[in-house]
Amino acid sequence: MNIEPTFMKPENRFREMINLDFVFQPCVFLPSEDNEFPKGEFINPEKAKALLGNYKIDVVFYSKDFKIVDTAKDLGRYGAVVKITAQDGIEYIRYRTLFRCEETKPILVDDPLEGTILFPKYLGLDYSIWKNQSQTINTFITAAIERDKNRSHEFAILLSGLSEIDSDCQSLSQLDSAITRDRRWWLKLKQKINGSESRVSEIPVSTRTENSISFPLLIEGTENTAGMESGVIQKLDKILNTWLEESSEPFNVCVARKGILFFNQGYGKRNGEPVTPDTKHLVYSITKAISGTLFMIFVEKGLVKLDDPVSNILPHFSDKKIETPVTFRHLFTHTADMDEHFTDTWNDLEQIYGEAYPYLNIGREHRYNGTSIGIALKALEYITGMTLPDLYQKYLFGPLGCQSIESIDGSALTWSNAYDLAIIGQMLCNRGTYNKYLFFSEEKFGQMLPQKLNSILGPNTDITWGIGLTEFKEGGLDKKTIGHGSASSCTLRVDLKNELVISMTRARAGENFENNHEKFISAITSSIIN
């Protein structure tokens, strides 16, 4: 007697499907006699079968110039659009980048890797050990790369991006990185597949305000010009040097009031080099404040509203039979029943969560994550035809005059010094303006501010959240202080009442962070001359 295999219902399997890895083995492949593409399958096919039953896999391959191909005749990038059909007929789509190598011989040889690899301190080994054991480390990394070529799509993305870079290019920003290049390629293909190319039109950069009106521009000045007590610079310097001695964790700091930057210094050394005001650090979740700021620029332009259903823009989200349609406000306030960080660079993120959408409990609880913000920003990509890193640069960082800051996602992956964070903070302190640029009106800025989520979570909630912004009340800051926290304990505080902007970037908290951070903030607020 034949017994039909059992498998999960769609409403029970959707969360496991989000992270069920589908790979091509190898993702970086050598030419074959018939130029065939490698086969794709789930890393754990038995689990896939338990979830989906007897599933079927169909793949459409695209060449680097977006043409459907049956064979891999040419060197370089390919894209695979994978359709997985479950036994119950439900379809799941996944996007994967592949790379075809040129040579028929093994990709890697025993030549030593050049340069210095810096390993994190938390591994607990002295730098001299890494240096003296370079050959052992080289062998390990070479083997790791060889393993990666078999089923790491990140390696295929890296090689695809590198193959498209000019050979005489000396250094690259995140705008030209392999990840951003891959994102651009997939955005163009997605627009082609979804028929959304025609909806994209040129969107002008922030309009200028009247010539007679000028808003505070972050400029260097004295503590007295900034309305601070004499001696505050020396007081802060003493506190920060003591902090450095206690934690041995370097950082840089900016403090400004009324647009006057009266403190901009670096402390300590990292990898033997002094940390200066120009040193960049990964600022992690302060990225959410930056992405909220970017989003409000497009709200100001009338291209999207906070309470618009996401389905208005992303074709993967259908509101048919949905009790509570997911809005952009849900996505930015972490009330869209989504999880995880570092998913923003998934080219199929909106596709995956569009499949899960019918089973999500929208507006039921607040659960902090980065994925939902990533989906909101995918909508901006569909509106503009530009990737998120390009949007940051064209509509925010460029007009502000930021020089160091780079960002490749909407929730965690931003590199900056304290100064460029302070510029963004000053624009927020100006309530959406900077110099003569109007990024968004004071009305739209008000929509961005943290507020109790009564309208979403009900009248009894105590949760307060904004569009990329949260409230801070430490160290004598006014209750209207806004900013965002950071996994690396970087700081962005904007005290709207006192026109105060405080920023700090660092790699990690270090010892006694909370106590020293409180002293630092208190020294600033207690020195304000009303």
Q: pLDDT tens digit string along 12-39?
A: 999 999 999 999 989 999 888 899 999 9
- Model pLDDT, residue 148: 64
For tokens 């890494």, name the residue: 130
CA-based nearest residue to 396, from 478, 476, 508, 293: 293
Q: pLDDT tens digit string along 180-238?
A: 999 999 999 999 998 877 666 788 887 766 554 556 789 999 999 999 999 999 999 99
Beta strands 437-438 and 451-452 are unpaired
Tally of domains within the chain: 2
Does any domain span residue 202? no
State whether 291 and 420 are in the same domain.
yes
Mean pLDDT of the 379-389 span: 95
With 0-12 / 13-18 / 19 or more C-beta atoms within 10 angstroms meaning exposed / middle / buried, residue 508 is middle
Q: pLDDT tens digit string along 135-194?
A: 666 766 666 666 666 667 888 998 999 888 877 666 678 888 889 999 999 999 999 998
- Position 421 pLDDT exceeds 60: yes
Does any domain span residue 140? yes
Q: pLDDT tens digit string along 465-500?
A: 999 999 999 999 999 999 999 999 999 999 999 999
Q: For residue 152, what are the domain limits? A: 1-164
- Position 3 pLDDT exceeds 50: no
Q: pLDDT tens digit string along 97-147?
A: 999 988 655 545 455 556 666 666 656 666 676 667 666 667 666 666 666
Does any domain span residue 172? no
DSSP per-residue letters across 79-97? EEEEEEE-TTS-EEEEEEE
Query: How many alpha carbons lie under 13 Å from residue 50 in its C-beta half-sphere?
Result: 6
Tell me which of 164, 192, 214 is where a domain ends. 164
Q: What CATH number is given to the structural domain containing 289?
A: 3.40.710.10
State whether 296 and 152 are in the same domain.
no
Mean pLDDT of the 68-73 span: 96
Helix, strand, coil percent content, the chain, rounded in steps of 5? 35, 20, 45
State whether 144 and 289 are in the same domain.
no
CA-based nearest residue to 309, from 339, 293, 329: 329
Beta strands 406-407 and 414-416 are antiparallel
Residue, of 64 and 204, whose pLDDT is higher: 64
Cα–Cα–Cα angle for 33, 178, 79, rounded to 5 degrees: 40
With 0-12 / 13-18 / 19 or more C-beta atoms within 10 angstroms meaning exposed / middle / buried, residue 125 is exposed
- Model pLDDT, residue 195: 81
- Model pLDDT, residue 1: 42
Residue type, 246: E
Question: Could you tell me the two tokens for 480?
Answer: 């209207």
State whether 325 and 461 are in the same domain.
yes
DSSP-based three-state secondary structure for 357: helix
- Model pLDDT, residue 392: 97
Does any domain span residue 177? no
Buried b (16+ CB within 10 A) or exposed e, 298-320: bbbbeebebebbbbebbebbeee
Does any domain span residue 169? no
Does any domain span residue 232? no
DSSP per-residue letters across 253-318? EEEEETTEEEEEEEESEETTEE--TT--EE-TTHHHHHHHHHHHHHHHTTS--TTSBGGGT-TT--
Phi then psi for residue 153, to 5 deg, are: -70, -20
- Model pLDDT, residue 205: 85
Does any domain span residue 326? yes
- Position 6 pLDDT exceeds 50: yes
Tell me which of 137, 164, 191 is where a domain ends. 164
- Model pLDDT, residue 271: 82
State whether 295 and 157 are in the same domain.
no
Range in 135-144, 344-353, 418-427 with the lowest mean pLDDT: 135-144
Does any domain span residue 118? yes
Q: What CATH number is given to the structural domain containing 48?
A: 2.60.40.1080
- Model pLDDT, residue 202: 81
How far apart CA 178 and CA 176 sit, in angstroms, is: 7
State whether 345 and 492 are in the same domain.
yes
Question: Could you tell me the two tokens for 20?
Answer: 């069920």
Share of the chain above pLDDT 70, in %: 86
For tokens 């005749």, name the residue: 73
Tell me which of 164, 181, 197 is where a domain ends. 164
- Position 76 pLDDT exceeds 90: yes
Residue type, 27: C
DSSP per-residue letters across 320-347? TT-SS--BHHHHHTT-SS---SS-TT-T
Mean pLDDT of the 228-249 span: 96
Q: pLDDT tens digit string along 281-316?
A: 999 999 999 999 999 999 999 999 999 999 999 999
Summary mean pLDDT of the chain: 90
CA-based nearest residue to 427, from 329, 292, 306: 292
